[in-house]
Chain A
Amino acid sequence: MAPAPTSTYSAITLHINGEKHTLSVDHRTTLLDALRERLDLTGTKKGCDQGQCGACTVLLDGRRAVSCLQLAVAAEGREITTVEGLAEDGRLHPVQQAFLDLDGYQCGYCTPGQICSAIAVIEEHAAGWPSAVTEDVRPEAGPPPLTDDEIRERMSGNLCRCGAYVSIVQAVSRAAATTPADRAGTGTTTRAHGADTDSTDPHGTEAAA
Chain B
Amino acid sequence: MKEFDYRRALDVSGALALLDADPDARFLGGGTNLVDLMKAGVERPARLVDVRELPLAGVESTADGGLRIGATATNSDLAAHPDVRRRYPALAQAVLAGASGQLRNMATVGGNLLQRTRCGYFADVTKPCNKRVPGSGCPAVGGEHRNHAVLGASEHCVAVHPSDMGVALTAFDAVVSYETADGPGELPIADLYLPVGDTPHRETALPPGALITGVTLPPAPTAANSRYRKVRERASYAFAIGSIAAALDVRDGVVRDARLAFGAVASRPWRARAAERVLTGAPADAGTFAAAADAELAAAKPLPHNGYKVTLMRNLVVAVLTELAEEATR
| Chain A residues at the B interface, C-beta cutoff of 8 Å | 1-3, 6-8, 10, 26-28, 30, 49-51, 54, 57, 60, 63-66, 69-71, 73-74, 117, 120-121, 124, 127-132, 134, 137-140, 152-158, 191-192, 195-199, 202
Contact = CB atoms under 8 A, between A and B. Distances in A.
Nearest to A124: B101
Interface of B: 1, 3-8, 17-18, 20, 28, 31-32, 35-36, 38-39, 46-48, 50, 52-53, 55, 57-60, 70, 73, 76-82, 85-86, 89, 92-93, 96-97, 99-103, 105-106, 235-237
A6 B6 CA distance: 9
Contacts of A192: 76-77, 80
Contact of A63 (B76, B89, B96): B76
A64 B106 CA distance: 9
A74 B52 contact: yes
Contacts of A8: 3-5
Contacts of B5: 3, 6-8, 27
Nearest to B7: A3
A6 B101 contact: no
Given A28-B1, A51-B36, A196-B59, A3 B102 contact: no
Contacts of A65: 102, 105-106
A154 B86 CA distance: 21
Given A71-B35, A192-B80, A152 B236 contact: yes
Contacts of B7: 3
Contact of B103 (A7, A51, A127, A197): A51
A27 B103 contact: no
Contacts, number: 149
A1 B5 CA distance: 16
A135 to B, nearest CB: 11
B59 A131 contact: no
B17 A51 contact: no
A95 to B, nearest CB: 15
A132 B231 CA distance: 12
B102 A27 contact: no
20 contacts: A3-B47, A6-B46, A27-B4, A28-B3, A54-B100, A60-B105, A70-B31, A71-B35, A71-B48, A124-B101, A134-B96, A137-B85, A137-B93, A138-B85, A138-B86, A139-B86, A152-B236, A157-B102, A195-B73, A197-B58
Given A7-B5, A196-B59, A121 B97 contact: no
A129 B57 contact: no
A120 B113 CA distance: 26
A132 B59 CA distance: 20
B82 A139 contact: yes
B31 A128 contact: no
Nearest to B46: A6
Contacts of B50: 74
Contacts of A73: 6
Nearest to A57: B102
B99 A129 contact: no
A128 B3 CA distance: 42
Nearest to A69: B35
Contact of B101 (A1, A69, A157, A195): A157
Contacts of B105: 60, 63-65, 120
Contacts of B36: 50-51, 69
B260 to A, nearest CB: 19
Given A156-B100, A198-B57, 18 more contacts: A1-B17, A3-B47, A8-B5, A27-B48, A50-B36, A71-B31, A73-B6, A74-B28, A127-B80, A128-B80, A132-B97, A132-B236, A153-B235, A156-B237, A157-B100, A196-B59, A198-B58, A198-B70
Nearest to B234: A156
Contacts of B46: 6
B31 A69 contact: yes
Contacts of A6: 5, 46-47
Contacts of B78: 195
A154 B101 contact: yes
A69 B57 CA distance: 20
Contact of A130 (B39, B58, B92, B106): B92
User: Which 5 residue pairs spanning A and B have beta carbons closest together?
Assistant: A157-B100, A156-B236, A8-B3, A195-B77, A156-B237
